[in-house]
Chains A and B, each alone.
Chain A
Amino acid sequence: MTAQEILESLKAKFGDAILDAKLEAMQPWISIAPDRMKDVAFFLRDDSFLQFDYMMCLSGVDYNDGRLGVVYHLFSMVHRHKIVLKAFCTKENPHVRSVSSVWGTANWHEREVFDMYGIIIDEHPDLRRLLMPDDWEGHPLRKDYKVPEFYNGMKVPY
């Protein structure tokens, strides 16, 4: 299926949850409302024409204009097509619904997004920091992150 067909079948089912799309990019992407992410994900995985059963990657992005985003790269082993989904949220209200019940691999990816960007993943089974120590302050990969001077008595910068 082409990206246009995937967008149309999504729009047919979820109309208002589909916010934006850029199909002429090198890898076409579709923007979904963050609180409807889980329903869209179930449909993408279970619909027989789409069957996106393999989530290649889930990343967080800081767009440096007050927006944060979560980018999902999906692939179908059956039909061999790919699609990119994006869910944008703001720094004041950083909430995205979890898809870890849809694809098991999203569990750790979403924890990492929370750890690095501070995007709170709603309905995640175990949302806590993954890579940084549990009592670390701040979310390191944000563009406005300041490195702390000391952590538990150890000097952090060079």
Chain B
Amino acid sequence: MIETKTLPTAYVTDPRAMRSSSGKTLRTDEMIINMGPQHPSTHGVLRLEIVVDGEIIVDVIPHIGYLHRCFEKHAEHMTNYQQVIPYCDRLDYCAAINDEHSYVLAVERMLKIELPERVEYIRVIMAELQRIASHLIAVGTFGIDAGAFTPFLYAFHDRELILSLFEMTCGARLLYNYFWIGGLSHDLPPQFVDKAKEFCTYFKPRIKEFNDLLTFNEIFVKRTANVGVLPKDVAINYACSGPMLRASGINWDLRRDDPYSVYHKIEWEPKIGKGEMGTVGDVWDRHIVRMREMEESVKIIEQALAALPAGNVQAAIPKRIRPDAGEIYARTETPRGELGFYIISDGSGTPYRVKGRAPAFVNLSVLPDISRGAMIADLVLIAGSVDIVLGQVDR
């Protein structure tokens, strides 16, 4: 037995002291490991302070703010509501169209504009194409986190086809400034519909190929099943949304339950996690929900392309965007979850306050609760399955 007078008293009364077979106590201690802000697998500049006991995680403390780009300050100083749209793009740069959709929806509701139907259908087509592109980034980089490099190349090759569709329409590959308040900046070029149909036909078997490569791969399943389980009540209390919420078994999708645009005219259904490979709400469930959402998006795009009416996409764009004094909170379903904009207008042409409620910000706050008891290698996968984009988290 070690003498107590030569060591600090905390040693002997330390509950973590383990007893080895010969009766001597072995001292263990917790270690604080720092992951990031520069790290190959934190999906951006996120700093995770991990308190570990050996390899088991005791606590995770995320530190954010390394990409805080003052979006809300810029929104208050822009000369009109239209100029805020490029900044909304850069919130979630992997799914820029969906960011714009949320913002223009909020302003249009404040202005009470009636949109031409063609605008609504094109918006749905673009939003769903962007959803597929964003999920491809998510699953591609998730594969790299798990150690599989090839699915990343498959995902990005398919994504290039989508980006060329966007480039054909509005000239930009990543950050578009395409949705304008009351309409769109450009109409679809004549060859868009055929190329989009071609893409849909090409992409459906590719999802199956991707699933064979990664999703149902035994190593991947063993690494992701039963890891990072998010229970239902915790998910709702922490206001999780998007694939994180649906993977925990909650049948909730804003496109159907808080409807906007023309989603109610299209036949589709949200995909829910069922715990097929492990527990409901584990990392594998979130992954398969994203894969199945891509298939569903292809269905939505095909129906919208078939139902696309004629019209002028710039007919409803107001000359002066000056909403009455008031405020509104509007939300849409982006690939990462519920993106909401709380806009206060003071009656002038400049927004008074624009708050972006980012889904990744809210989903990330649940990370400590779902990763206690996991190992460090699991933490990489759990953080990857939350699918954060730091532009959105830090705004």
Indicate, yes or no, whether A interacts with B: yes
**Complex contacts, A157 vs chain B, CB 8 Å:** none
A114-137 vs B, CB cutoff 8 Å, 1 = contact: the mask equals 001000000000000111110000
Min distance, Cβ B326 to any Cβ of chain A, angstroms: 6
Task: Enumerate chain A residues within 8 angstroms of B237, measured Cβ to Cβ.
Answer: 53, 103-105
Whether, in the assembled complex, A23 has its beta carbon less than 8 Å from a beta carbon of chain B, the answer is: no
Contact A132 B342 (CB under 8 A): no
Give residues 30-88 of B contacting A (CB, 8 Å): 64-65, 68, 70, 72-73
Contact A26 B365 (CB under 8 A): no
B144 at the interface (CB under 8 A from A): no
A77 to B238, CA, bound (A): 13
Answer yes or no: B340 CB below 8 A from chain A CBs.
yes
Inside 8 A of A141's CB, which chain B residues have their CB?
Answer: 72-73
Q: Is the CB of B238 within 8 A of A27?
A: no
Residues of the B chain whose Cβ atoms lie less than 8 Å from the Cβ of A62: 353
In this assembly, does A43 line the interface, its C-beta being within 8 Å of a C-beta of chain B?
no
Report A19-63 CB contacts with B as 1/0, cut-off 8 Å.
Answer: 000000111000000000000000000000000011111010110
> B170 at the A/B interface (Cβ < 8 Å)?
no
Q: Decide if B73 touches A54 in the complex (CB within 8 Å).
A: no
- Please tell me if the beta carbons of B329 and A73 are within 8 angstroms of each other in the complex: yes
B234 within 8 A of A: yes
Q: Does A61 lie within 8 Å of B344, measured CB to CB? A: yes
Would you give the 0/1 interface string for B100-121, flagging 1 where the beta carbon is closer than 8 Å to chain A?
Answer: 0000000001100000000000
Residue of A whose beta carbon sits closest to that of B394: A131
A105 touching B362, Cβ below 8 Å: yes
Write the nearest CB–CB distance from A103 to chain B, whole angstroms. 6
B64 adjacent to A131 (CB under 8 Å): yes
> When the two chains form the complex, which single residue of B65, B250, B342, B353 contacts A57, counting CB atoms closer than 8 Å?
B342
Task: Check A17 for interface membership: any CB of B closer than 8 A.
Answer: no
Q: Write out the residue numbers on chain B whose beta carbons fall within 8 Å of the beta carbon of A132.
A: 65, 68
The complex places the Cα of A141 from the Cα of B356 at a distance, in Å, of 13
Whether the Cβ atoms of B239 and A130 lie closer than 8 Å is no
- Report yes or no: B365 in contact with A27, Cβ–Cβ below 8 A: no
A27-B327, A54-B239, A105-B365 are known contacts. Are A77 and B252 too (CB-CB below 8 A)? yes
CB distance from A111 to the nearest CB of B (A): 10
Question: Are the CB atoms of B73 and A140 closer together than 8 Å?
Answer: yes
Of the listed residues B64, B65, B250, B394, the one surrounded by the most CB atoms of chain A closer than 10 A to its CB is: B65
Pairwise interchain contact B329-A57, C-beta atoms closer than 8 A: yes
Contact with A along B313-346 (1 / 0, CB 8 A): 0000000000000111101000000101010100
Which of A54, A56, A108 has a CB less than 8 Å from the CB of B329? A56
A71 CB–B CB distance under 8 Å: yes
Check A108 against B73 for contact (C-beta < 8 Å): no
Contact A27:B328 (CB < 8 A) given known A61-B344, A105-B239? yes
Q: Which residues of B contact A80 (CB under 8 A)?
A: 257
Cα A134 to Cα B129 in complex, Å, equals: 40
Known contacts A104-B366, A105-B365: A131-B326 contact under CB 8 Å: no
Q: Which residues of A contact B394 (CB under 8 A)?
A: 131
In the complex, the answer to whether A77 meets B64 with C-beta atoms within 8 Å is: no
Instruction: Enumerate chain B residues within 8 angstroms of A56, measured Cβ to Cβ.
Output: 239, 329, 331, 338, 340, 357
Most buried by A among B250, B342, B369: B342
B365→A59 contact, CB < 8 A = no
Contact of B326 among A25, A54, A55, A77 (CB under 8 A): A25
Please, how many angstroms separate the alpha-carbon atoms of A100 and B255 in the complex? 28
- Check if B361 is an interface residue, CB within 8 A of chain A: yes
Given contacts A26-B326, A61-B353, contact A131 B73 (CB under 8 A): no
Structural contact, B72 and A54, CB atoms closer than 8 A: no
Query: Would you give the 0/1 interface string for B211-243, flagging 1 where the beta carbon is closer than 8 Å to chain A?
Result: 000000000000000000000001011110000
A133 and B252 contacting across the interface, CB-CB below 8 Å: no
Q: Give min CB distance, B16 to chain A, whole Å.
A: 24
Q: Which residues of B are interface residues toward A (Cβ below 8 A)? A: 64-65, 68, 70, 72-73, 109-110, 234, 236-239, 250, 252, 257, 326-329, 331, 338, 340, 342, 344, 353, 355, 357, 361-362, 365-366, 369, 394-395
> Residues of A at under 8 Å CB distance from B?
25-27, 53-57, 59, 61-62, 71, 73, 77, 80, 84, 103-105, 107-108, 116, 129-133, 140-141
Interface pairs (15), CB distance under 8 Å: A27-B327, A27-B329, A56-B329, A56-B357, A59-B342, A59-B355, A73-B340, A104-B237, A104-B366, A105-B239, A105-B365, A108-B361, A131-B68, A132-B68, A133-B65
10 tightest Cβ-Cβ pairs between the two chains A and B = A131-B65, A105-B239, A57-B357, A59-B355, A131-B68, A104-B238, A108-B365, A104-B237, A105-B238, A73-B329
Given contacts A56-B239, A59-B355, A131-B65, 12 further A-B contacts (CB under 8 A): A26-B327, A54-B236, A103-B237, A104-B238, A105-B365, A108-B362, A116-B72, A130-B64, A131-B64, A131-B394, A131-B395, A141-B73
